[in-house]
Structure 1
Amino acid sequence: MFSKFQNHIISRFPFLAEKKLFLAVSGGLDSMVLLHLFNQLPCEIAVLHCNFQLRGLESFGDQEFIQNYCNQNNIPFFTTHFDTEAFAKDYKLSTQVAARELRYSWFYELLEEENFDFILTAHHADDNLETFIINLTRGTGLEGLTGIPEQNDKIIRPLLPFSRPEILKYAEENNIEWREDSSNASTKYLRNKIRHDLIPVLKEINPNFLDAFQKTQSYLQESKEMVEDASIMIYQQVAKEAGNDIHFDLNQLKKLPNYKSYLYQWLNEFGFSAWKDIYDLVEGQSGKQVFANEFRLLKNRETLILSPYSELSEKEEYEINANDTEVNFPIKLSLCNVGHTTFDSNRVIFVDVDKIHFPLILRKWKDGDVFQPFGMHGKSKKVSKLFKDEKLSLIEKEKTWILCSNDQIVWVVGIRQDERFKIEKATNKILKIELQ
């Protein structure tokens, strides 16, 4: 197996040569074989071990076992303890999900602190099969059916092509010791139930089932890559990026026979899961929205707008004092005294200094805001009506700021100045305010 493993590393991960590598080691068969294999390669390695304190003295026995191995082989050893059950309870997670969250969070912290390059885990072909079946039972797309990726950011899984019997045979031939996790025998966990009850039946039906599965996954991966290529080509025809937002042209989208599949491909990475609501949005009323944790999708006439979602308090205000020449947050403004006006632009206003009172206040617009639009000679208008006339989307409305003087609107920033603060013949001082 070592020769096959060495060729696999050279073929798939040549960049690991002479890198600093963390090996995630539980003390079980798979991770101890991974450690033994990498200890023979020209890499700088260190061991990471998480004590989840879920099995009493057995957990501390695992830790002591790995630490002794590392001491005997002069391998740096890092360990930490977690109160996994308390964490799971506090965040309403299953024990297994809580352990995974804690483990990978700590892994990435150490990567940065110790200046290492990658983290290696001992997932193998049988783990991949179990993950495939779990995803299949829950309902999934191509991404779930292609199983555990060989590399995900800084996480690398170099044992994925190897089966558990191969790994066991290597351990026995090389007299590698390991620890048995007693919880692996329990079928109360879904993964264990699949491992002990379902997979043996599949292998009984077809002794070469694992090989057949790996071929199937290879075909699925090729199909996934074709889908991704097509998705990129269609995205360029349908989507337009505007700052942090993405605008999808519904007229173009609906010409596609499988537009729902493209939407899934584009939006899945943003954390959306309410797919029926998203598909209904295409034919829904303008103004309707679907939310993910950090993003939202808005129907705005014949466009779907994807944007980061953040809830800003309507009470949030920022002061601009008389001696300020620039504002850098929450938007960028420049302020300067000038001798005359130059050109008209929605991004620039000129105001009579004697008509304003400092500090000026910069805030988000509110329902009920009223101002006197420049050029309308004393006639009032609701800001919401201005937005409607300008055909602003909900997202554009939420991004709009209002500049005020003594509770009077001076400028709907970037859109319209107020008539009351305009320059007149009697004006002595002119203040130019520009949106950068």
Structure 2
Amino acid sequence: MSEINLDLKKLTNKIILLAHSGGVDSCVLGDILIRSKIKFSVAHCNFQLRGEESDNDLLFVKKWCKKNRIKFYYKLFNLIDYKLKNKKGIQESARDLRYKWFNHLTTNKGFDYLVTAHHLNDQFETFLINVSRSSGIFGLVGIPESNKLLRPLLNVTKMQILDYAKKNNLEWREDSSNTSKDYFRNIIRHQVVKPFENHKPKTLENFKKTLAHLKDAQEFISHQFDKLKKELFIEKNKHIYIEIESLKKIKPLSFSLHHFFSPKGFNSKEVEKLVFSSPGKLILSKKYRLIRDRKYLILSALLKKEINEIVIDLDKKNLKLPIPIKWEYIPNLETKAHKNNEVFLDRETLKSPISLRKYKNGDYFYPSGMKGKKLLSKFFKDEKYSLLDKEEQWLLCSNGEIVWIIGKRCDNRFLARPNTKNKLLMRDLR
């Protein structure tokens, strides 16, 4: 049947979608699937970049599917518009659109696997491209694997694919863009990989062995890092705390920081600089921020835009508030000792609007149990607040003035006295 022997057990009795370009790789994989009696459907992308040639590719795949009684899906894409809108390269844009549509099909049509015809030469090209980008060991293991995406030809060379196609009298389409020097991958393919194969025929076989060793190394290193991460990364209130002194002891530090933080979009050199900086510094990625606190690096999601101030009507109950606080009037009871999580206020001293808000630069209050006023920033410093603590601290205010640093300290001016007639008890229920 075939000189290409593939392990297709994973595809048996599964619902398969084959990505088919019309090229020799797709045609060979499609032929092997048919001969192996594996049922599948086909998806074809037309990016309309090569005019009539692109249209003929579509017609070729459609005809092939009809001949073999295979369900056919296709889609036309406006690649140039997407490229300009997202400021990406042609190949990256095509890959985005292609896999977005493939994922849509697999999800909505109930496919178990998407199958593509990537082969060993593609692996080698990806390896060399990643070397040129200084990707590190985790970028050198070639085309990434995926649970829903299978690539049965990854250990098969282009030469083997062409030999199979010729010996089995297969027809296929040639993509003229594969010879264009506008694409870096083509330069790698024609000016690096082919000369390698010509002078060192065992290059790809040796690369296959090297890649296997790299994958083993990656698996081992990842396992060690996962163990280390469980020890170092402590989750608290939706934030991750990493003890700085423990982090500094890891060798090699830069490599470790890259593994820990690059998935969150951080550069390892910037993280290392942050580790050895003074408290209060931070760096940002697209979705996260990393804060240098006194003892910890704190990893948190970027803040969503918050409401500046929430006005409270004390005559209403069960208001929807960002923190759980409750209040009640207790005109005839003795004033109890003030606790951090509850305060007795003199209702007559409170002026509208009564509100909840966060810290503003220049805020001050008159701390209970003390004389005179104190800057809130000084209070935060004395209480050893982290940047996150400051951001998450809610303030109860009366006409803009701080009444209660909720859960922490009350302002002396608003406290109920023994002779206060209209007492208001407020509780922090956290």
Q: Do the two structures share a fold, i.e. TM-score over 0.5?
A: yes
Partner Cα distance (2:416, 2:12) in 1: 70
Partner Cα distance (1:41, 1:326) in 2: 65
Is the CA contact (8 Å cut-off) linking 1:365 and 1:402 kept in structure 2? yes
Unaligned runs of 5+ in 1: none
- Deviation of the 1:18 alpha carbon: 3.0
Q: Which residue of 2 aligns with 1:230?
A: 224
For residues 119-171 of structure 1, give each alpha carbon's deviation from its aligned partner in whole angstroms, at most 9, with x where no partner exists: 2222111100000001111212111111112x225333222111112222232
- Deviation of the 1:268 alpha carbon: 1.6
The answer on 1:265 being equivalent to 2:259 is yes
Unaligned runs of 5+ in 2: none
The answer on 1:316 being equivalent to 2:315 is no
The answer on 1:393 being equivalent to 2:386 is yes
Q: Greater CA radius of gyration, 1 or 2? A: 2
Is the CA contact (8 Å cut-off) linking 2:17 and 2:114 kept in structure 1? yes
Partner Cα distance (1:360, 1:73) in 2: 74
Bigger shift: 293-302 or 412-421? 412-421
Amino acid at match of 1:139: S
Partner Cα distance (1:397, 1:152) in 2: 41
**1:197/1:317 Cα in 2 relative to 1: closer, same or farther (>3 Å)?**
same
For the residue of structure 1 that corresponds to 2:8, the secondary structure is helix
The answer on 1:156 being equivalent to 2:150 is yes
**1:78/1:310 Cα in 2 relative to 1: closer, same or farther (>3 Å)?**
farther
Amino acid at match of 2:94: A
Matches within 5 A, 1:346-385: 346-356=340-350, 360-376=354-370, 379-385=372-378
**1:303/1:59 Cα in 2 relative to 1: closer, same or farther (>3 Å)?**
same
For the residue of structure 2 that corresponds to 1:290, the secondary structure is strand
Supply the RMSD in Å over aligned alpha carbons: 2.7
**1:325/1:343 Cα in 2 relative to 1: closer, same or farther (>3 Å)?**
farther
Amino acid at match of 1:332: I
Partner Cα distance (2:39, 2:329) in 1: 64
- Deviation of the 1:261 alpha carbon: 1.8
For the residue of structure 2 that corresponds to 1:78, the secondary structure is strand
Q: Which residue of 2 aligns with 1:332?
A: 323
Q: Which residue of 2 aligns with 1:291?
A: 284
The answer on 1:87 being equivalent to 2:82 is yes
Q: Which residue of 1 aligns with 2:195?
A: 201
Is the CA contact (8 Å cut-off) linking 1:413 and 1:435 kept in structure 2? no
**1:365/1:116 Cα in 2 relative to 1: closer, same or farther (>3 Å)?**
farther
For the residue of structure 1 that corresponds to 2:395, the secondary structure is strand
Partner Cα distance (1:176, 1:413) in 2: 75
The answer on 1:75 being equivalent to 2:70 is yes
Partner Cα distance (2:417, 2:383) in 1: 27
Amino acid at match of 1:335: K
Bigger shift: 72-81 or 56-65? 72-81
Partner Cα distance (1:73, 1:148) in 2: 30
Partner Cα distance (1:50, 1:188) in 2: 21
- Deviation of the 1:188 alpha carbon: 2.2
**1:369/1:40 Cα in 2 relative to 1: closer, same or farther (>3 Å)?**
farther
Matches within 5 A, 1:94-243: 94-149=89-144, 151-243=145-237
Partner Cα distance (2:210, 2:358) in 1: 54
- Deviation of the 1:338 alpha carbon: 6.8
Is the CA contact (8 Å cut-off) linking 1:352 and 1:431 kept in structure 2? no
Q: 2:395 aligns with which of 402, 412, 421?
A: 402
Partner Cα distance (1:206, 1:317) in 2: 70
Q: Which residue of 1 aligns with 2:19?
A: 24
**1:408/1:97 Cα in 2 relative to 1: closer, same or farther (>3 Å)?**
same
Bigger shift: 262-271 or 100-109? 100-109
**1:78/1:371 Cα in 2 relative to 1: closer, same or farther (>3 Å)?**
farther
Q: 1:416 aligns with which of 409, 412, 417?
A: 409
Partner Cα distance (1:294, 1:303) in 2: 20
Question: What is the TM-score with the length of structure 1 in the denominator?
Answer: 0.88
Partner Cα distance (1:181, 1:69) in 2: 17
Partner Cα distance (1:344, 1:107) in 2: 62
Q: 1:254 aligns with which of 230, 234, 248?
A: 248
**1:405/1:232 Cα in 2 relative to 1: closer, same or farther (>3 Å)?**
same
Bigger shift: 216-225 or 244-253? 244-253
Partner Cα distance (1:64, 1:70) in 2: 10
Partner Cα distance (1:411, 1:212) in 2: 70
For the residue of structure 1 that corresponds to 2:249, the secondary structure is coil
For residues 244-299 of structure 1, give each alpha carbon's deviation from its aligned partner in whole angstroms, at most 9, with x where no partner exists: 322221212222331222111111211113x2222122211222222211112221
The answer on 1:300 being equivalent to 2:293 is yes
Is the CA contact (8 Å cut-off) linking 1:353 and 1:431 kept in structure 2? no
- Deviation of the 1:348 alpha carbon: 4.5
**1:173/1:320 Cα in 2 relative to 1: closer, same or farther (>3 Å)?**
farther
Q: Which residue of 2 aligns with 1:280?
A: 273
Partner Cα distance (2:299, 2:17) in 1: 38
- Deviation of the 1:220 alpha carbon: 1.0
Q: Which runs of 4+ in 1 moved over 6 A?
A: 340-344
Number of residues paired by the alignment? 425
Is the CA contact (8 Å cut-off) linking 2:342 and 2:425 kept in structure 1? no
- Deviation of the 1:419 alpha carbon: 3.1
**1:21/1:310 Cα in 2 relative to 1: closer, same or farther (>3 Å)?**
farther
For residues 404-423 of structure 1, give each alpha carbon's deviation from its aligned partner in whole angstroms, at most 9, with x where no partner exists: 33222233334333334434
**1:17/1:435 Cα in 2 relative to 1: closer, same or farther (>3 Å)?**
farther
Is the CA contact (8 Å cut-off) linking 2:344 and 2:423 kept in structure 1? no
Partner Cα distance (1:42, 1:349) in 2: 76
